[in-house]
């Protein structure tokens, strides 16, 4: 599959204008230590190094975690602030920073491959998510890793809550893309070895912004308040249960000879 094939896959569930509005005044920060996605990244990549590319990298919340782990950071996003503001923030934090570019992931001309190619909350905004996953896979060097994460709005408890209380936000997500086993099948056909796939985290719930009636607004506020107060209880629930876990994730290694210093030693 070549670059011209990907240029036809621009079937996003969310317009770029919406994203630009969301990110216009965004503040930059590293994901905190208690963030489950950060902990998931660290569990797989602490003690390693190399080059890391994030597709849809703005505002660098998780790309910066790889920076803290010692990776050279690369990123691509269509948001106007990515080249100046985001890159400056990453540099100012003292990370090793490569190319942080503004561009469309489907038409951007990449001239190299990377030890880690990651996306967080990206593929579920597209109808033809498998083609986007294939593009991400092609950018991984032999012996390197692909990392894919999305929220889990498909599990029956999460889906029920979002359908009742967060329907506009739910419409911006492709539930068919929130199935780690499907990602794994696509990647196995491309000679990737699956290291982890599934759901992670205990119960959590968040919503997008949309007009809500009084009852719905009070219900959302109540759930969020109960969620905060019972966070210590949720931690005792089994983690990774598809019905209520907040995240889907996959880590896979591309089989092949690896250049010195890449991730060829990742566990099988």
Give the CATH number of the domain where residue 11 resides: 3.40.50.150
Q: Does any domain span residue 31?
A: yes
Per-residue pLDDT at 229: 63
* Cβ contact 105:135 at 8 Å: yes
Q: Is residue 195 part of a domain?
A: yes
Numbers of helices and strands, H then E, in the chain: 11, 7
Tally of domains in the chain: 1
Residue 218 in any domain: the answer is no
Q: Does residue 264 sit within a domain?
A: no
CA–CA distance, 133 with 146 (Å, rounded to integer): 9
- Strand duo 96-102 + 140-151: pairing: unpaired
Give a yes or no: residue 122 inside a domain.
Answer: yes
CA 192 to chain centroid, in Å, comes to: 19
CA separation for the pair 103, 78 (Å, rounded): 5
Residue 111 lies in a domain: yes
Residue 231 lies in a domain: no
Spatial distance between the Cα atoms of 186 and 130, rounded to a whole number of angstroms: 7
pLDDT tens digits along 124-153 = 999 989 999 999 999 999 999 999 999 999
Q: Say if residue 257's pLDDT is above 60.
A: no
Give the span between the Cα atoms of 87 and 99, in whole angstroms. 8
What would the pLDDT profile of 187-215 be if each residue is shown by its tens digit?
A: 999 999 999 999 999 888 776 665 556 76
Q: Cis peptide before 244, with omega less than 30 degrees from 0?
A: no
Percent of the chain with pLDDT over 90: 61
Q: Give me the domain span that covers residue 244.
A: 3-153+173-203+239-254
Domain-embedded: residue 159: no
Residue 180 confidence (pLDDT) above 80 = yes
């Amino acid at each position: 599959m070549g670059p011209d094939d990907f240029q036809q896959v621009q079937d996003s569930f969310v317009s770029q204008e919406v994203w630009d509005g969301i990110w216009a005044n965004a503040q930059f920060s590293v994901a905190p230590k208690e963030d489950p996605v950060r902990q998931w990244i660290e569990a797989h990549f602490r003690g390693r190094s190399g080059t890391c590319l994030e597709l849809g990298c703005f505002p660098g919340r998780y790309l910066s975690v790889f920076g803290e782990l010692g990776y050279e950071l690369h990123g691509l996003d269509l948001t106007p602030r990515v080249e100046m503001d985001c890159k400056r923030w990453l540099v100012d934090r003292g990370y090793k920073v490569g190319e942080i570019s503004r561009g469309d992931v489907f038409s951007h001309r990449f001239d190299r491959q990377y030890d880690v190619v990651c996306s967080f909350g990206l593929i579920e905004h597209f109808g033809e998510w498998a083609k986007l996953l294939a593009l991400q896979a092609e950018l991984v060097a032999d012996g390197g890793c692909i990392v894919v994460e999305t929220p889990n709005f498909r599990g029956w408890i999460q889906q029920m809550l979002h359908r009742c209380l967060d329907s506009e936000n739910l419409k911006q997500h492709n539930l068919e893309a929130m199935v780690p086993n499907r990602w794994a099948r696509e990647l196995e056909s491309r000679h990737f070895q699956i290291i982890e796939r599934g759901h992670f985290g205990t119960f959590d719930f968040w919503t997008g912004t949309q007009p809500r009636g009084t009852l719905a607004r009070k219900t959302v506020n109540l759930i969020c308040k109960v969620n905060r107060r019972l966070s210590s209880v949720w931690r005792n629930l089994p983690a990774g249960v598809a019905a209520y876990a907040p995240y889907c994730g996959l880590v896979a290694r591309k089989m092949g000879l690896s250049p010195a210093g890449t991730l060829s030693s990742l566990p099988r």
